Amino acid sequence: MLAQNRGIKPLLQFPAGRLSRMDKRQESRSIGGGMSSTVLILYASVSGTAEELAALTALRLRTAGSDAVAMNVAEFPAMRLTEFDTVLVIASTWGEGEPPPDAEEFVTSLGKLPAESLPDLRYAVLALGSRAYPEFCAFGRRLDEDLARAGARRLLPRVECDTKFKADYEAWFAAVLAQLKEPHAAG
Ligand SMILES: Cc1cc2nc3c(=O)[nH]c(=O)nc-3n(C[C@H](O)[C@H](O)[C@H](O)COP(=O)(O)O)c2cc1C
């Protein structure tokens, strides 16, 4: 398990702790009151891969000139999705097709949002998993479907990653970046 996640290390050129503090500052500046143009990157993770990819994505988007903040779904009430116009979701699957344990509350709340309650939200899902499991990327798939059911619009089709995910992540990120340059009507 740990070995398969080592692939991400060369992508990161900073200590994760420092990024967390950066994200907290960004979060306090950007969240609260009205619709935020900040790109929200939500992650659901157990062994840290999705978390590291979310932090990397936030850093890259900031470097490209966008406001971006990475947050654990465990700390983010699904209702607050109404405050954002763009969310990127990076989520791993655990157990037998299940969410990471600390993502349960978020996905339950998301599932209870009324249909069409997120009409102004656009989103993209990067699902992490392993083809060694029969329920490949099931949680990412579920989030993708729940967001669509709640009325959010896909920026691009969901990307599902096996354990060697670097190329898929890079392609997903490039597609996200291209879509974010499009007018907001895209989706
Ligand atoms: C105990 C265990 C159960 C897993 N179950 C699934 C599964 O049902 N479906 C799947 O696609 N991947 C499954 N995986 C693979 C993880 O989703 C994959 O390793 C992912 O990259 C972990 O991301 P994280 O470090 O962000 O938690 C499982 C991994 C472990 C160790």
Q: What is the pLDDT of residues 129-143, one digit of tens each?
A: 999 999 999 999 999
Lining residues, ligand 1, CB within 6 Å:
1, 4-5, 45-50, 92-97, 100, 128-130, 133, 135-138, 163
Ligand 1 atom nearest to CA at 137: 11
Q: Tokens representing 151? A: 């009325």
Q: Tokens representing 56? A: 């990397």
Amino acid at 170: E
**Opening angle at CA 50, ends 177 and 168, nearest 5:** 50
Burial class of residue 129, CB neighbours in 10 A (0-12, 13-18, 19+): buried
Kindly give the distance from the C-alpha atom of residue 159 to the centroid of ligand 1, in angstroms, as a whole number: 15
Domain membership flag for residue 146: yes
Number of domains making up the chain: 1
Total count of residues recorded for the chain: 187
Tell me the Cα Rg of the chain.
Answer: 15
- CATH code, domain with 42: 3.40.50.360
Domain membership flag for residue 5: no
Q: Tokens representing 147? A: 């967001």
Write down the pTM of the prediction: 0.86
Contacts of 176 (CB under 8 A, 6+ apart): 57, 88, 124, 155, 156
Domain membership flag for residue 24: no
Q: What is the pLDDT of residues 41-91, one digit of tens each?
A: 999 999 999 999 999 999 999 999 999 999 999 999 999 999 999 999 999
- The answer to whether residues 26 and 139 touch, using CB atoms and an 8 Å cutoff, is no
Cα distances from 142 to residues 8, 61, 126, 132, 162, in angstroms, run: 24, 25, 12, 19, 17
For atom 29 of ligand 1, the residue with the nearest CA is 94
Domain membership flag for residue 84: yes
- Residue with the bigger pLDDT between 63 and 186: it is 63
Strands 122-128 vs 153-154: parallel, antiparallel or unpaired: parallel
Domain membership flag for residue 4: no
Q: Which domain holds residue 125?
A: 36-180
Kindly give the distance from the C-alpha atom of residue 110 to the centroid of ligand 1, in angstroms, as a whole number: 21
Q: What is the pLDDT of residue 18?
A: 36
- The answer to whether residues 89 and 123 touch, using CB atoms and an 8 Å cutoff, is yes
- The answer to whether residues 130 and 148 touch, using CB atoms and an 8 Å cutoff, is no
Contacts of 116 (CB under 8 A, 6+ apart): 150, 151
Q: What distance lies between CA 110 and its chain's CA centroid?
A: 14
Domain membership flag for residue 176: yes
**What average pLDDT does the segment 136-153 reach?**
98
Domain membership flag for residue 66: yes
Residue 17: pLDDT over 90: no
Any idea of the CA torsion for 179, 55, 122, 111, to the nearest 10 degrees? Answer: 150
Domain membership flag for residue 28: no
